[in-house]
Structure 1
Amino acid sequence: MPVATAPTATCVIPQTHLTDLPPFPSVFDPARPVEVDIGCGKGRFLLARAAANPNVQYLGIERLLLRVRKIDRRVQRGGLTNVHLIRLEAGYTLRYFLPSHSVRCFYLFFPDPWPKRRHHKRRLFDALFRTLVWSRLEPGGEIQIATDHLDYFADMEKALAADPRFEAVPAIARTREEQTDFELIFRAQQLPIVACGFRARPASALAPALLARLAAEGVPALPPQPDEGTS
């Protein structure tokens, strides 16, 4: 059920500051799968997917307040009860809100490519992001990626293919209604769109040395509790 705050209903997950997030189980039903749209933009894919799959719970992550408010209004008008939104950085959300093995699928569609080489360090997709995605996915869960930026796509696909925690799967087919606003623009310009999918391998299939290294890196398995003093 969507989170409600007086005087109107909203699907936006409340927060008073960055470390004051509600516990994940208070927002999502553990008996139903959760899928996450990272950088959901104006919500075109998120809302179409949620409407087509009412038994799946969806989380949209978006930084921009006006976009979050717009999606929230559309959720309320559409009567969707399986959509939640969070206005935070994607990396922070994965690290401090999503528990281990809680997500069936991540969608990363048309992330900001930061095309200038000196800006590549600002890209979302890096080694820590891969670790967070793997640790938050259910065993066998997937990350689906699509972009128009061929160089960024090549970097992401190569990194995932070389990572023993993942194995390649087909990219999902999406209806026109499930194409993002950016994607519609790029397709109208006849720009190439590339996509891939990868599945998380279970920890039992990985070498003990790799698991030990991941543990040593200190990526938290669960969101920190308020009494842990996280700031």
Structure 2
Amino acid sequence: MGNDCKAFAINSHNYNYCVLLGGFAQLNHTVWMNPYGGWSVYHILNETVEMPVFRVSAGNGVSVCNSWLTGTPSSLNETSTSGDLDLGSPLTTFYKHPLVDDWEKWDIAEVIFSLYTNSNEVVRLRFSGSGTSKMSWFSLSNLLSSPWTDLHINADVSDFTLSLDWIAHFRTFYINSVFGGCTMDKGWMVVVDGLDICPWTFSASYPAFLYALGYQKRLWSDANQFGNADDLVVSLLLQL
């Protein structure tokens, strides 16, 4: 019955709920694609599941902004999903779970934005997911925690946006504080999809994932104050 349930989940895109018969005749269960170990079955007993739904590797030529906004969801099979989320293997494209485009259908408790270097998490931002869309969750008002002491819900920011329209989408997941011209700008984090008007956005390959080293915002024009991450992962904390 487990395989029938899995097939139902794939075909219907109803990844949340599946009634298992046989040995689980008395209980409703959730069947869930666990990217680190195939399919798992969870009781629906107010469980919270953290599920990676988006990943891009640095320097592979993929537009992070376009992939998040309009990219076609990835194939849903155990092998490809496990491989797509293996941080030891850089992606040549992107991984996107269909949940991203069905955002409003789910009870999302939190959204977790992570950057990784050498498979180690170097940035972790937590956002409230309640009442959000796939575009609105990334905002200062939804921020629950950050690794920087001066980035909090009352921080002074000039930009906190998933997609920065006025620079032709070259900056995404952009958190900036001081906007004073290219040499004076200060911020915490940005995903750069290509070179824009500021020289500090230059990279030998794109996308580039820049994050402020230490515990406070940094001067973008000083490359020594920023790290370059290998992977970007967005995960959802789902209430089942």
TM-score between the two structures when normalised by the length of structure 2: 0.28
Greater per-residue strand proportion:
2
Higher-Rg member (1/2)? 2
Greater per-residue helix proportion:
1
TM-score between the two structures when normalised by the length of structure 1: 0.29
